[in-house]
Structure 1
Amino acid sequence: MTTEALTIDVNGHALLLSADRAAFDPLLKTLFIADAHFGKDAVFRARGIPVPIGTTGESLARLDALVTAHRPESIVFLGDLLHARESHADETLDALAAWRARHRALRLVLVEGNHDKHAGALPALFGVEVVKEPHVLGPWALCHHPQTVDGAYALAGHEHPVYRLATRVDSVRLPCFRIGPNAGVLPAFGAFTGGFEVNGEVRREAVYVIAGERVFPLSDRPRSTIAAS
């Protein structure tokens, strides 16, 4: 199944927002992914909560699809690559090792998030560079925690934004991108993550909601900063 990407202009720089819950800079050939939380299912099982196996595999399948679609040279994870110490379970590390073997040429960079500090680093054989926030790359200041950074546009994760759409009889919470004048927040990439409802938080931001295989704007403000094509 093919998902769509919506190209927006952020302060003169193209950024593709993917329905696979990631963003792509075509000039830098870099994917940005927030809050993968790989191994969260293993953490729950280790702590006695019987959740099914397979969420890490589902997330890695979407990551494969993104690599196939965009042919990036690098991936920057905007924090919380792993969920907790128990994410180092064999089932999770084996799945990650198999994925890495398929994409050995990719440069992988992790902007350290709060969960990463507790989970611990992946073994060196995975070849993941760990950096502190803000990590400046081209026009972007890459962060885990949402913030503003002088002289760059900040892209972050951490809050797992979702937007509630409602009718008189029903409602649905959908992952979304928050794109403001100076900073944006990506949706959580992980398949087994909760979400922070941002309906009451949105002010001078454009919101792009993911519904199935599509990304569509709920708002086109602020027009001076954001344009979709």
Structure 2
Amino acid sequence: MPIEALTIDVNGHALVLSAERAAFDPHAKSLFIADAHFGKDAVFRARGIPVPVGTTGETLARLDALVAAHRPESIVFLGDLLHARESHADETLDALAAWRARHRELALVLVEGNHDKHAGALPALFGVDVVKEPYALGPWALCHHPQTVDGAYALAGHEHPVYRLATRLDSVRLQCFRFGARAGVLPAFGAFTGGFEVNAGARGEALYVIAGERVFPLSDRSSSTIAAS
């Protein structure tokens, strides 16, 4: 089944929300990715915790799918591109280098996050421009840490938001996008990341949950239009 996307209006600007846990600005032709945490599995193994190999490859495959679907000219990573210093393991860097070789035409920008400061930068051959938050691009203030920015709508990561849907017998945690009047938070893109439940703090926000291959508005407050107050 093909992955579907949902286009919403944020203060008069289109933003495409993908079930692949990313957002796309069709005007700027830029893809926004939060919290990829590449190499997190290598970090765990280096620290003596046995975890499966392959999460970096899975994450890169989804990134390939997004590039094929949207044909962006640039990708902006909203922080935490790498997980830690041990993410520079050969297995991770080799996979990233192979991906970069397939997409040399793409401009890559990293808005530095807290994990990036400890992990250290990728080698220069990867061609990633590292910037501080907030990074201005069109109507957006692109950040890692959720915040408000005068004169722009802020998009951030860091929180890894998930929403818990529950019945009396069962529950499921679904990754989600959350949008307030002046700022929004994207779900974590990485295949090996946890989540922070936003149920209690989501009042007045528009929430869009990812279920399978689709993005759904959670309730009536999650309309297709988000306007600043």
The residue number in structure 2 matching 1:107 is 107
Using the size of structure 2 for normalisation, the TM-score is: 0.97
What does 1:63-142 correspond to in 2, within 5 Å? 63-142=63-142
The residue number in structure 2 matching 1:157 is 157
The residue number in structure 1 matching 2:168 is 168
The Cα of 1:66 is off from its aligned counterpart by: 0.0
Cα distance in 1 for residues equivalent to 2:10 and 2:97: 35
Asked if structure 1 preserves the Cα contact closer than 8 Å seen for 2:80 and 2:114, the reply is yes
| Alignment gaps of 5+ in structure 2 | none
Cα distance in 1 for residues equivalent to 2:209 and 2:190: 16
Q: Label 1:32 to 1:220 Cα distance change in 2 as closer, same or farther (>3 A).
A: farther
The yes-or-no answer on 1:53 pairing with 2:57 is: no
Secondary structure at 2:178's aligned position in 1? Answer: strand
Cα distance in 1 for residues equivalent to 2:203 and 2:216: 18
The yes-or-no answer on 1:20 pairing with 2:16 is: no
- The letter of the residue matching 1:106 is L
The Cα of 1:226 is off from its aligned counterpart by: 2.1
The residue number in structure 1 matching 2:10 is 10
Cα distance in 2 for residues equivalent to 1:109 and 1:212: 29
Cα distance in 2 for residues equivalent to 1:106 and 1:223: 32
Secondary structure at 2:41's aligned position in 1? Answer: helix
Cα distance in 2 for residues equivalent to 1:62 and 1:85: 24
Cα distance in 2 for residues equivalent to 1:198 and 1:110: 25
Asked if structure 2 preserves the Cα contact closer than 8 Å seen for 1:181 and 1:222, the reply is no
- The letter of the residue matching 1:49 is I
- The letter of the residue matching 1:66 is L
Using the size of structure 1 for normalisation, the TM-score is: 0.97
The residue number in structure 2 matching 1:201 is 201
The Cα of 1:180 is off from its aligned counterpart by: 1.1
Secondary structure at 1:188's aligned position in 2? Answer: coil
How many equivalent residue pairs?
227
The Cα of 1:220 is off from its aligned counterpart by: 3.9
- The letter of the residue matching 1:31 is L
Residue-by-residue CA offset, 1:25-66 (whole Å, 9 max, x unaligned):
000000000000000000000000000000000000000000
Cα distance in 2 for residues equivalent to 1:19 and 1:179: 16
What fraction of aligned residue pairs are identical, expressed as a percent? 88
The Cα of 1:137 is off from its aligned counterpart by: 0.4
Asked if structure 1 preserves the Cα contact closer than 8 Å seen for 2:83 and 2:119, the reply is yes
The residue number in structure 1 matching 2:36 is 36
Cα distance in 2 for residues equivalent to 1:61 and 1:117: 26
- The letter of the residue matching 2:76 is V
Asked if structure 2 preserves the Cα contact closer than 8 Å seen for 1:204 and 1:222, the reply is no
- RMSD between aligned residues: 1.2
The Cα of 1:152 is off from its aligned counterpart by: 0.1
Secondary structure at 2:16's aligned position in 1? Answer: strand
The Cα of 1:2 is off from its aligned counterpart by: 1.8
Cα distance in 2 for residues equivalent to 1:73 and 1:203: 35
Cα distance in 1 for residues equivalent to 2:93 and 2:87: 8
